[in-house]
């Protein structure tokens, strides 16, 4: 009923034509609950945060504020991002379209690259609709000035243009870095320096805390306006750095690296708590749609394990579930149920249509589905029948419980040491598969950890999914640049090569 009456309010001119509003309500009729007003929107995107690294998703890391978001909103168990690494995920997230449609296939290795200027961002749409728009944190969609967030739909920007930077000078007392012998990370590159708008500034305090202060400041300044605030702290991406304040709360975590990582997750949780408290202070909590998610799975390329995507297989860079299925929570007291867990197949690409629907804005993406009716239980259909991933030539697809992944074979030997080591440039173009591909099919209902390849038992499923992939690829562009980076993984006894 909410959905229908809301539609009527927004399409005021069509009320008479469609008869949404009864001309004379029956005297005994109960008063329909009014549609929620267009909300403010706050999205918090963690970075390389594992599916299993939040309390409510099974972690021992204390994350009371994120857990509370889940209790006050809807928690997704099958929510995905459109890439298994940072930059292409953000290209999808910021446009609401598969980034492969416009060639943003891999993490950019050339700093002249930027999100193609013909791509309109979600922030562009909301800016056009009169929202105040802010981005605080990591952009990772181009360092050169034409690609700057202030030219891509944001009224305000505070953060880094690249994908990684230092959190603090770890030579300072009260700081911790792992590995400890690591040279202190600097902010020397254009991509690493902190910017307030276009201006490069010096920041000495722990960066996650500074980003939290800036988020609260944005809410304080714009409490009387409608705003879209995208918060993209790089936490807990490497370098692993934390302060005493957070380390004290994770002393129960085993492993030196895992403990610093956990402290960073706690700092991210405090950040979420600060944002929610700021909304509450201004009495905006009920009418603000808050979303929390990670940009991809956690990593496997440190000297010891630091994080977990449990119960999922794979990590960042992998098109196994642990690479792209992420913690994903939506909270909107005025417009969504509270304390629900939702199991339908959903994507971060859907946030665009969801925000648009909540705000009465028309969304124009073939890839983005309004999640609201699904999360409200108004339909039992999942938002997506299929989801797709491609880091060409590797490609993957979900169809209900089925997951298929086609990945390049190689005869390069996996080097000793930690997994996920980056290989030097390839001798052949990585958009080719000179040694063929391995195809795996998993039944996630029976095998959530993707351990048992059932492709041979279900050739008809493999064939169907290959047809679906072919149809999807027909709508994509060739990658804008050739990626020469990759890493190796042993899959079903075959060494395969991941690209990112």
Which residues sit at the interface with Ca ion, rule CB under 5 A? 47-48, 86, 295-296
**Residue with smaller CB distance to Ca ion, 261 or 332:** 261
Shortest separation between residue 164's beta carbon and Ca ion, angstroms: 9
| CB 237, min distance to Ca ion, A | 6
Query: What minimum distance in Å lies between the beta carbon of 189 and Ca ion?
Result: 18
Residues 126 and 357: beta-carbon distance below 8 Å = no
Shortest spacing between CB 167 and Ca ion, in angstroms: 15
Q: Which residue is nearest to Ca ion (CB)?
A: 86
**CB neighbours of 91 closer than 8 A, spacing ≥ 6?**
83, 99, 102, 104, 115, 119, 141
- Nearer to Ca ion by Cβ, of 47 and 450: the residue is 47
Question: Look-up: residue for tokens 């880094």?
Answer: 160
Local structure of 262: helix, strand or coil = helix
Q: State in angstroms the smallest separation of the CB of 137 from Ca ion.
A: 12
Tokens found for residue 500: 């990112």
Q: How far apart are the first and last CA of the chain?
A: 45
Do 176 and 242 contact (CB within 8 A), yes or no? yes
- C-alpha to C-alpha distance for 406 and 103, rounded to whole angstroms: 19
Closest approach of Ca ion to the CB of residue 126, in Å: 24
Six token digits for residue 309: 């995507």
Q: How far is the CB of 296 from Ca ion (least distance, A)?
A: 5
For every residue of 52-98, DSSP letters joined together read T-SGGGT-SS--HHHHHHHHHSEEESSEE-S-SSHHHHHHHHHHTS-
* For Ca ion, the closer CB: 90 or 152: 90
CA dist., res. 497 & res. 412, Å (int): 9
CB of 326 to Ca ion, least distance (A): 10
Q: How far apart are the C-alpha atoms of 263 and 242, rounded to whole Å?
A: 6
Rg (CA), the chain: 23
Q: Give the nearer residue to Ca ion in terms of CB position, either 269 or 295.
A: 295
Cβ neighbours around 53 below 10 Å, total? 30
**Which among 313, 312, 378, 377 has a CA at the least distance from the CA of 341?**
377
**Cα 105–Cα 320–Cα 439 angle in degrees, nearest 5:** 85
* Residue 315 vs residues 106, 135, 299, 319, 426: alpha-carbon distances, Å: 16, 27, 5, 8, 22
Nearer CB in complex with Ca ion: 68/208:
208
Nearest-approach distance from CB 151 to Ca ion, in angstroms: 23
35 vs 44, beta carbon nearer Ca ion: 44
CB of residue 89 vs Ca ion: minimum separation in angstroms?
A: 7
Nearer to Ca ion, 222 or 324 (CB): 324
Q: Concatenated DSSP letters for 441-479?
A: EEETTT-TT-----TTT-HHHHHHHHHHHHHHHTTPPPP
* Three-state DSSP class for residue 438: strand
Residues in the chain: 500
In the complex, the smallest distance separating the C-beta of residue 482 from Ca ion, rounded to whole angstroms, is 22
Closer residue to Ca ion, CB minimum distance, 73 or 486: 486
Nearer residue to Ca ion within complex by CB, 236 or 486? 236
Residue written as token pair 């714009």: 222
Q: Closest separation between CB of residue 282 and Ca ion, Å? A: 31
**Which CB atom, from 83 or from 397, has the smaller least distance to Ca ion?**
83
**Which one, 207 or 358, has the nearer CB to Ca ion?**
207
Nearest alpha-carbon partner for 324 in 35, 28, 78, 496: 78
CB of 85 to Ca ion, least distance (A): 6
CB closer to Ca ion, 284 vs 396: 396
CB atoms within 10 A of CB 287: 17
CA distance 238 to 233: 12
Kindly tell me which of 335 and 420 has the beta carbon lying closer to Ca ion. 420
Q: What secondary structure does DSSP assign to 479-499, as a single string?
A: PSS----EEEEEETTEEEEEE
């Amino acid at each position: 009923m909410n959905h229908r009456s809301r539609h009527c309010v927004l399409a005021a001119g069509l009320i008479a034509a469609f008869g949404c509003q009864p001309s004379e309500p029956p005297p005994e009729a109960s008063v329909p609950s009014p549609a929620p007003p267009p909300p403010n929107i706050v999205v918090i995107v963690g970075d390389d945060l594992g599916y299993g690294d939040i309390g409510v998703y099974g972690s021992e890391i204390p994350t009371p504020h994120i857990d509370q978001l889940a209790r006050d909103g809807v928690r997704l168990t099958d929510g995905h991002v459109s890439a298994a690494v940072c930059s292409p995920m953000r290209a999808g997230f910021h446009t609401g379209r598969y980034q492969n449609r416009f060639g943003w296939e891999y993490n950019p290795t050339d700093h002249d690259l930027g999100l193609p200027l013909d791509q309109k961002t979600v922030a562009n749409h909301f800016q056009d609709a009169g929202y105040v728009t802010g981005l605080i944190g990591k952009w990772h969609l181009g360092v050169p000035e034409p690609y700057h967030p202030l030219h891509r739909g944001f009224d305000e920007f505070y953060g880094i243009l690249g994908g990684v930077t230092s959190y603090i000078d770890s030579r300072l007392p009260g700081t911790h870095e792992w590995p400890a012998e690591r040279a202190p990370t600097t902010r020397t590159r254009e991509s690493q320096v902190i910017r307030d708008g276009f201006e490069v500034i010096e920041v000495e305090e722990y960066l996650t805390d500074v980003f939290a202060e800036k988020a609260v400041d944005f809410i304080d300044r714009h409490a009387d306006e409608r705003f879209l605030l995208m918060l993209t702290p790089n936490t807990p991406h490497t370098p692993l750095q934390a302060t005493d304040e957070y380390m004290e709360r994770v002393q129960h975590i085993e492993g030196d690296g895992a403990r610093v990582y956990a402290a960073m997750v706690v700092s991210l949780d405090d950040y979420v708590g600060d944002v929610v408290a700021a909304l509450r202070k201004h009495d905006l909590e009920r009418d603000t749609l808050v979303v929390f998610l990670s940009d991809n799975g956690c990593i496997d390329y440190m000297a010891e394990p630091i994080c977990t995507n449990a119960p999922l297989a794979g990590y960042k860079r992998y098109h196994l579930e642990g690479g792209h299925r992420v913690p994903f929570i939506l909270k909107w007291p005025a417009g969504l149920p509270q304390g629900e867990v939702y199991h339908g197949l959903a994507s971060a690409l859907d946030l665009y249509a969801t925000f648009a629907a909540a705000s009465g804005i028309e969304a124009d993406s073939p890839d983005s589905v309004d999640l609201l009716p699904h999360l409200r239980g108004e339909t039992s259909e999942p938002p997506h029948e299929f989801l797709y991933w491609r880091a060409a030539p590797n490609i993957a697809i979900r169809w209900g419980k089925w997951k298929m992944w086609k990945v390049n074979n190689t005869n390069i030997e996996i080097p000793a040491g930690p997994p996920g080591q980056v290989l030097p440039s390839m001798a052949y173009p990585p958009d080719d598969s000179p040694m063929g591909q391995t195809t795996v099919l998993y039944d996630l209902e029976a095998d959530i950890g993707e351990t048992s390849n059932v492709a041979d038992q279900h050739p008809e499923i493999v064939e169907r999914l290959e047809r679906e992939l072919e149809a999807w690829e027909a709508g994509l562009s060739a990658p804008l640049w050739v990626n020469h980076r990759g890493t190796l993984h042993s899959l079903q006894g075959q060494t395969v090569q991941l690209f990112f």
